Structure 1
């Protein structure tokens, strides 16, 4: 009759059992660390994009507000930028020198960088006859011989991420 070696219940763990437990714990820890690292990388990439979107949105909101609060008769634009006379602020301009959308207040000699990474700017104006113009003001409408009224301005920015457009109604250009 063979006798089986019985272990005492209070003897503890064998070396093999401890090594297996350590190996399993190491694998679980490595998987957890890898998952945490991936989550942190995704969060930092998302945070950068959200900051960029915030910067673009703030600039477009300020541009819209400036245009809506300006005298429509003072709005002038061409392929290089736009100038307007905003109530309470004075002469205000938007231009893109060296890849930055720049907001300039002439009365205070103040330049504000709105968006960086701007490749191009395009402005168009919608007149009271429903015609689009690449520069403003225009001389006169052919049919009536009267100068047209400004209804809206479209700002189109070519950014490194793509093209952004904003159409702004000009309240002073409403039907009279």
Structure 2
């Protein structure tokens, strides 16, 4: 075999062939990176959505339990006069950007009164900086200590609360939206149900109707 034939068979790639090959590998790399980056972003968005959903479910569960355990307990919200209004959405009751729900709940066990707190717990739900918060206090009529503040759900734009009155309860307040009313001013009883509406960035409007015990028996009016 001649030297010229051997040299022809061993011919190297041309510059154009090298550039085309590099361009093909670059395109494959860019496409792979785009796919992986999109998958990572999708996973992150899914994780955030799951966390927000878990926060929403937990927040509504906390609110449901507190409303279900609401009790008839006279309070001294301003430290002087005794008030027999046992559940309220009055925005002046606490500092809230939009909406409020306040009540006193039972189920706060303190066996043998060994812990420095009462067995009844004042609870306030409010919105601060687009965060739904739960405030709880150690004693019903002693606000000298700072409350425990628990952040429940981010991205909450507003909290709205309405109350449902049963037909056998004070007929004078009937007729608003078939028993629903925007505030609860009645002395001596609780509403049959509480409607909670959250306006959120992630889920839009969320509305739940939560039942109370409907108790009409006063607890002792002594301070705790």
- Structure 1 and Structure 2 fold alike (TM over 0.5): yes
* Alignment RMSD: 3.1
In 2, Cα distance between the equivalents of 1:116 and 1:29? 38
Alignment-derived partner of residue 103 in structure 1: 134
Mapping for residues 1-176 of structure 1, pairs under 5 Å: 11=10, 14-15=13-14, 19-71=19-71, 73-74=72-73, 75-80=86-91, 81-89=100-108, 90-107=121-138, 109-129=147-167, 131-138=179-186, 150-161=191-202, 162-170=204-212, 172-173=213-214
Alpha-carbon deviation of 1:41?
2.2
Alpha-carbon deviation of 1:78?
2.4
Q: Which runs of 5+ in 2 are unaligned?
A: 74-85, 92-99, 109-120, 140-146, 168-177, 216-224
Check conservation: 1:125, 1:152, Cα contact below 8 A.
Answer: yes
Structure with greater contact order relative to length (CA < 8 Å, sep ≥ 6): 2
Alpha-carbon deviation of 1:11?
4.1
Q: Which moved more, 1:115-124 or 1:60-69?
A: 115-124
Alpha-carbon deviation of 1:124?
0.8
Structure-2 change in CA distance of 1:76 and 1:18 (3 Å): same
Q: Which runs of 5+ in 1 are unaligned?
A: 140-146
What is the TM-score when the length of structure 2 is the normalising length?
0.59
Structure-2 change in CA distance of 1:61 and 1:6 (3 Å): farther
Secondary structure of the residue aligned to 1:163 is strand
